[in-house]
Structure 1
Amino acid sequence: MSNFDIFIGETTGTAILILLGGGVVAAVVLKRSKARDAGWLAISFGWGFAVLTGAYLSAGISGAQLNPAVTLGLAIEGGTKWSDVPLYIGSQMLGAIIGAFLVWVTYMGQFAAHLTDPEILAAQPGTEGLVDQKAAPQAGPVLGIFSTGPEIRNVLQNVLTEIIATFVLVIAILTQGLNNSGNGLGTIGVLITALVVVGIGLSLGGPTGYAINPARDLGPRIVHALLPLPNKGGSDWSYAWIPVVAPLIGGAAAGGFYNWVLA
């Protein structure tokens, strides 16, 4: 596998992953969307299908890691060379930024309608309509389309939730369906992983929105911060380290556990 294969596969696969994953959240959240208020079930399955599509697209090119936590777990397990790790993670970050930008392009009119709606603006921090300002002190009204945030802000719980959810994801990848070289997902592994992501969303996603992927959270958060959206609010940078650091810990723990117990 060449450096070009890794770059193209991870960038393209992650871009599709974020386009479809962020797209389903936008479809459910934004006003003037035909899928508005479709609910958490739609979001959970939408993210699962996003993983399925992005991973199938890139599995034969780069192994479809699409997630720095997965890359770290595979490097610790031994399937990915440590010298390839920076290229994998850099490509995943670029893909996540591209995918998030394409979500905005796709829903441009809905973003504009949503962010100028008096009902939406009245419910934001600093206004009389806000019920609990502690619930989202720096999160704007559309940040959830791009990045995750906790329902209850408790650093320990939020960190542990992301570690546990990411551990489940990465250990599932390591134990089911790697490709022949062991550096990414095989055909069966893509399907299994997509179903695992749906399961994580339904079972473990409630507290924090299940980032389970540092690139998935940080790349789109950067796009949110840069886009010229009126009334978009803050990007909640005080929380941003948790969906980066905690999934990396969970991925590393899964790689170590696999080598120690399951290999």
Structure 2
Amino acid sequence: MQFTLFEKLAAEFLGTMILLILGNGSVANTNLKKTKGYASGWLNIALGYGLGVMVPVIMFGSVSGAHLNPAMSLGQAISGFFPWSEVLPYAIAQMLGAFVGQLVVYIIYQPHYKIETDPDLIFGSFCTFDATGNKVNYFVTEFIATAVMAFASVACMQLPWGKKYPATAGIVLGLIITSMVTSMGGSTGAALNPARDLMPRLLHQILPIPNKGSSRWGDAWIPVVAPILGATFGIGILKVCFFL
């Protein structure tokens, strides 16, 4: 079945929105005071993000490819897996989806944002930062983690078994993301996605949240540039190794 560009963009918008709701929703539920999941731990966040990727990939993978990430769209275009003409429309849809998804998280957890006093916990439910304040580590971690994620994602979707069983590929990808958050997310929170970090950061800036602290715009380029370079590298390695 062929889908129109509008249908593909709708899938990217909704898929990225779901990713943010499930992913950053799990962070807010874990970090903010008096939530039902307060202090439930890093595994709750990892599971939220794993399912946050798996669910829209299974739902929309056959429609748009479920990139959910401008770095993935650009990286696949550079390696010849995706038409250049659709990169910008996809990125816009993904950015808008991330914005709306984060706004939903804010609306749901608004009473908890009002009583939370730790700016790092508030900020962490929106976007990422390096736990030690080391910008070099921030960049290197996001580059490597995104390269691994992009390699694994495109392998799942492009290798013969994934094309034959796309729902299984989506489940495997969700498990990969869960594992990556548990193993590689400790330093930065694992943005891996310019839309997932930039649009929530914008909302953090403009929303009236007490005790929210700085939106850290001086670091904002890192979870944009590093994932783009990482995704391009990871997908490129896959193409070279398997002659796709």
TM-score by length of 2: 0.92
Pick the structure with greater CA Rg.
1
1:162 counterpart = 2:164: no
CA positional deviation for 1:141? 4.5
Aligned to 1:260, the other structure's residue is in SS state helix
CA positional deviation for 1:257? 1.4
How many pairs are equivalent? Answer: 239
User: Structure 1 residues 81 and 179, CA, compared in 2 at 3 Å: closer, same or farther?
Assistant: farther
Alignment correspondent of 1:250 = 230
Alignment correspondent of 2:58 = 56
Q: In structure 2, how many angstroms separate the alpha carbons of the residues matched to 1:82 and 1:204?
A: 31
| Matched-pair contact (CA < 8 Å) for 2:25–2:105 | yes
CA positional deviation for 1:74? 1.5
Alignment correspondent of 1:90 = 92
CA positional deviation for 1:68? 1.3
Alignment correspondent of 1:222 = 202
Q: In structure 1, how many angstroms separate the alpha carbons of the residues matched to 2:157 and 2:238?
A: 14
Alignment correspondent of 2:13 = 11
Alignment correspondent of 2:102 = 100
Alignment correspondent of 1:241 = 221
Q: In structure 1, how many angstroms separate the alpha carbons of the residues matched to 2:183 and 2:212?
A: 30
Q: In structure 1, how many angstroms separate the alpha carbons of the residues matched to 2:42 and 2:12?
A: 27
Q: In structure 1, how many angstroms separate the alpha carbons of the residues matched to 2:234 and 2:4?
A: 26
CA positional deviation for 1:59? 1.7
Greater CA drift, 197-206 or 93-102? 197-206
Residue identity matched to 2:137: Q
CA positional deviation for 1:60? 2.7
1:209 counterpart = 2:211: no
User: Structure 1 residues 258 and 179, CA, compared in 2 at 3 Å: closer, same or farther?
Assistant: closer
User: Structure 1 residues 259 and 141, CA, compared in 2 at 3 Å: closer, same or farther?
Assistant: closer
**What do you get for the CA RMSD once the two structures are aligned?**
2.0
Q: In structure 2, how many angstroms separate the alpha carbons of the residues matched to 1:91 and 1:113?
A: 33
Aligned to 1:177, the other structure's residue is in SS state helix
Q: In structure 2, how many angstroms separate the alpha carbons of the residues matched to 1:23 and 1:34?
A: 12
Alignment correspondent of 1:112 = 114
Structure with a larger share of its residues in helix: 2
CA offsets 1:210-261 (integer angstroms, 9 cap, x no match):
1011110111111111112222211111111111100000001012212222
Aligned to 1:153, the other structure's residue is in SS state coil
Alignment correspondent of 1:27 = 29
| Matched-pair contact (CA < 8 Å) for 2:113–2:210 | no
Greater CA drift, 222-231 or 238-247? 222-231
Q: In structure 2, how many angstroms separate the alpha carbons of the residues matched to 1:258 and 1:179?
A: 10
Alignment correspondent of 1:117 = none
Alignment correspondent of 2:47 = 45
- Within 5 Å, give how 1:104-143 maps onto structure 2: 104-114=106-116, 120=117, 141-143=121-123
Alignment correspondent of 2:242 = 262
Aligned to 2:217, the other structure's residue is in SS state coil
User: Structure 1 residues 18 and 152, CA, compared in 2 at 3 Å: closer, same or farther?
Assistant: same
Q: In structure 2, how many angstroms separate the alpha carbons of the residues matched to 1:102 and 1:46?
A: 15
| Matched-pair contact (CA < 8 Å) for 1:224–1:235 | yes
Q: Which runs of 5+ in 2 are unaligned?
A: none
Residue identity matched to 1:195: L
User: Structure 1 residues 233 and 141, CA, compared in 2 at 3 Å: closer, same or farther?
Assistant: farther
